[in-house]
């Protein structure tokens, strides 16, 4: 079923022509799946934990014991858990999971436990170091995600729910341009995914891999449509910026962890700078003569 241009809804939460936005109280929403109280506890922990790490550093300045066997074990477990959010992102974008909220919860729980384990590991080393920056990044991402889930997403849902104009923003919109844009989107979609309905469709990773240029064109048209109907003005711009920052920093973190692991595993000699190498490694390249 298709919608006339004058009845279109805007924004990423468009669910069906007759039911434009998911309700804020919907049990399937991430905030409901995790619970506000749990998020508040997480927030408190995220504020206290860095202080505990810094206090430990001040109590034993200059310690370099992050590579003792059990702390390295904590690092490996924590590092692996920090990759669960990447799986969440992939399942979300490929549509592989039938239960996205479960994956959302898994990404929060794995991220939190991963952060705790990585703290156990890193707090015994120097924080003023490149890996120390990674620790700061883990904290920042966890804090940013928690604050956004607690304050930004519910506020947006409420505002969309409270304002009829949020559901139907075509008034005052250049309808001729909108109709033209939608016709263009449908034409592209016909080649991208012939079975899909334009009102419900969002490109996934599968589309991007199979038809990169069509997917790019479709995404550009969707962005133009959002701008035209004013979705971004409704506060979506903030959420969209938050999401981009979160994803970009998470990518930097994961790349940083991989580099850190490669360095301590292969260049253990360079890292140890004359100290005994206490951690499991494959090569001690880079040791000073």
Is residue 75 near ligand HEM by the rule CB under 6 A?
yes
- Which residues face 33 on adjacent strands? none
CB of 252 to ligand HEM, least distance (A): 11
Piece of the chain touching ligand HEM by CB under 6 A; list 40-48, 61-69, 171-179, 208-216 = 61-69
Q: Which is nearer to ligand HEM, 140 or 242 (CB)?
A: 140
Judged by CB under 6 A, the residue of 38, 279, 284, 287 near ligand HEM is 279
Identify which range of 53-61, 68-76, 102-110, 205-213 contacts ligand HEM by CB under 6 A. Answer: 68-76
Q: Which structure tokens are listed for 33?
A: 């799946």
Euclidean distance between CA atoms 61 and 52, whole angstroms: 14
Alpha carbon 115 to chain centroid, angstroms = 15
Nearest residue (CB) to ligand HEM, 131 versus 203: 131
Q: Is 8 among the residues that bind ligand HEM (CB under 6 A)?
A: no
**Looking at residue 196, what DSSP letter applies?**
-
The length of the chain in residues reads 289
On whether the CB atoms of residues 23 and 14 are closer than 8 A, the answer is no
Which among 238, 245, 52 has a CA at the least distance from the CA of 152? 238
Query: Of the candidates 34, 66, 189, 221, which one interacts with ligand HEM according to CB under 6 A?
Result: 66
Binding-residue pattern over the window 131 to 170 for ligand HEM, x denoting contact by CB under 6 A: xx-xx--x--------------------------------
Q: Assess 261 for contact with ligand HEM (CB under 6 A).
A: yes
Cβ(81)–Cβ(114) under 8 Å?
Answer: yes
For residue 186, give the nearest of 176, 171, 201, 173 by alpha carbon: 201
**Helix%, strand%, coil% for the chain, nearest 5:** 70, 0, 30
In the complex with ligand HEM, which residue's Cβ is closer, 138 or 188?
A: 138
For residues 38 and 46, give the distance between their C-alpha atoms in angstroms, rounded to a whole number: 12
User: Which parts of this chain interact with ligand HEM (CB under 6 A)?
Assistant: 64, 66-67, 72, 75-76, 79, 82, 118, 121-122, 125-127, 129, 131-132, 134-135, 138, 257, 260-261, 264-265, 271, 279
């Amino acid at each position: 079923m298709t919608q006339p241009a004058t009845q279109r809804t805007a924004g990423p939460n468009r669910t069906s022509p007759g039911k434009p936005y998911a309700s804020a109280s919907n049990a399937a929403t991430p905030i409901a799946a995790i619970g506000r109280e749990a998020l508040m506890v997480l927030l408190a922990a995220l504020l206290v934990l860095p202080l505990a790490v810094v206090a430990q550093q001040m109590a034993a300045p200059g310690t370099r014991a992050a590579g003792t066997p059990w702390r390295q074990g904590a690092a490996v477990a924590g590092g692996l858990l920090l990759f669960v959010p990447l799986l969440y992102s992939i399942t979300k974008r490929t549509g592989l999971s039938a239960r996205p909220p479960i994956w959302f919860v898994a990404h929060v729980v794995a991220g939190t436990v991963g952060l705790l384990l990585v703290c156990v590991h890193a707090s015994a080393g120097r924080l003023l170091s490149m890996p120390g920056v990674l620790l700061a990044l883990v904290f920042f991402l966890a804090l940013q995600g928690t604050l956004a889930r607690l304050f930004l997403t519910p506020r947006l849902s409420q505002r969309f729910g409270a304002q009829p104009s949020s559901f139907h923003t075509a008034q005052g919109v250049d309808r001729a341009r909108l109709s033209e844009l939608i016709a263009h989107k449908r034409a592209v979609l016909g080649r991208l995914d012939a079975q899909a309905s334009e009102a419900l469709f969002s490109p996934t990773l599968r589309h991007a891999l199979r038809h990169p240029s069509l997917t790019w064109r479709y995404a550009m048209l969707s962005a133009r449509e959002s701008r035209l109907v004013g979705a971004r003005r409704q506060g979506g711009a903030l959420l969209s910026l938050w999401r981009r920052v979160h994803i970009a920093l998470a990518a930097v973190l994961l790349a940083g962890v991989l580099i850190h692991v490669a360095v301590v595993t292969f260049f253990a000699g360079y890292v140890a700078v004359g100290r005994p190498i206490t951690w499991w490694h494959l090569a001690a390249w880079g040791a000073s003569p």
